A and B are shown apart, each in its own frame.
Chain A
Amino acid sequence: DAEITQSPRHKITETGRQVTLACHQTWNHNNMFWYRQDLGHGLRLIHYSYGVQDTNKGEVSDGYSVSRSNTEDLPLTLESAASSQTSVYFCASSESVTTEAFFGQGTRLTVV
C-alpha cells in the first residue's frame, strides 16, 4: 500500500544544531507540505512543494528550509535549532487541488 512516512518519530537536539526531518511518500504525489502543530495554534504551514525543484514558503517558514530533488521526498531542515521550534511536525502530500492531503504520523522535536 502507498503511504507517507516520517523519520525520526522523536528527536531531541540542542540549541544551535542543524536538524533534518525526513518525509517520504510512495503515492507519487506532486504536492508535499510540512506543518507544525502547537497548542493553541493548530496546524501551521511551514513550506510546501508542487513538484521537483519547486519549494515555497508558508506561514511560519523562518528558520526552516526544504529541498525537493525527487517526487518522493521533502526533507525539512532546521538550520540552527531554537527552543521555539520545539513542536510536532507533520508532513503531508496530495495528488491535486481537489483531493485530500494524506499526513504522516508526525515527528516530535524537542530543542533543549
Chain B
Amino acid sequence: DQQVKQNSPSLSVQEGRISILNCDYTNSMFDYFLWYKKYPAEGPTFLISISSIKDKNEDGRFTVFLNKSAKHLSLHIVPSQPGDSAVYFCAASVTGSQGNLIFGKGTKLSVKP
C-alpha cells in the first residue's frame, strides 16, 4: 500500500511557464515533506521541504504548498527552465521516526525550450 503517491509519471512544460508537480499521501502521521530532484546516473538531490505547521515554503523559483486536510502537496516551479528537466520525487516522514523517508514513485519533468 503506497503511503506517498505521485500519480503523474511524466509532465511536459514549455520553458518559461509554470510546472506543477503533485503528491498525495495517506498517512496522517506524516509531518515533514520534501522534494528531491534526480538527474540520470546521479543520486537524488534535495530541493525544498515543508513542515506540517506551514502551508507554504518558497525558495527562489521553487514553492511547495501543503494542504493537510486533503493530504496533498504540490511543487511549483516558476519560471521553468530546460535545466529543470529531471525526475522529481516527493518524500514524507514522521519526525518521531528519526528521519525515515518514504518516497513516491517520481514524476519525470521535461521542460521544452
Give the B-binding residues of A (Cβ under 8 A).
Answer: 31, 33, 35, 40-45, 48, 50, 58, 90, 92, 94, 96-106
**Min CB gap A30→B, angstroms:** 8
**Min CB gap B68→A, angstroms:** 17
Q: Is there contact, CB below 8 Å, between B96 and A103?
A: no
Q: Is there contact, CB below 8 Å, between A103 and B45?
A: yes
With A97-B97, A98-B32, A100-B34 known as contacts, the answer to whether A42 contacts B44 (CB < 8 A) is no
Q: Is there contact, CB below 8 Å, between B105 and A48?
A: no
Give the A-binding residues of B (Cβ under 8 A).
Answer: 6, 32, 34, 36, 41-46, 49, 51, 89, 91, 93, 95-106
Q: Chain B residues near A102 (CB, 8 Å)?
A: 46
With A45-B100, A48-B100, A103-B45 known as contacts, the answer to whether A98 contacts B105 (CB < 8 A) is no
Say which residue of A48, A58, A99, A103 sits within 8 Å of B44 (CB atoms): A103
Say which residue of B32, B36, B106 sits within 8 Å of A97 (CB atoms): B32
Q: Is there contact, CB below 8 Å, between A106 and B43?
A: yes
User: Given the complex of chains A and B, what is the CA–CA distance between A100 and B6 in angstroms?
Assistant: 20
Q: Is there contact, CB below 8 Å, between A33 and B105?
A: no
**Min CB gap B11→A, angstroms:** 16
User: Given the complex of chains A and B, what is the CA–CA distance between A45 and B91 in angstroms?
Assistant: 12
With A45-B101, A48-B100 known as contacts, the answer to whether A97 contacts B42 (CB < 8 A) is no
Residue of B45, B51, B102 most packed against chain A (CB within 10 A) = B102
Q: Chain A residues near B99 (CB, 8 Å)?
A: 31, 94, 96-97, 99, 101
12 example contacts (A-B, Cβ-Cβ < 8 A) are as follows A35-B103, A42-B104, A43-B44, A43-B89, A44-B103, A99-B99, A100-B49, A101-B101, A102-B46, A103-B45, A106-B42, A106-B43
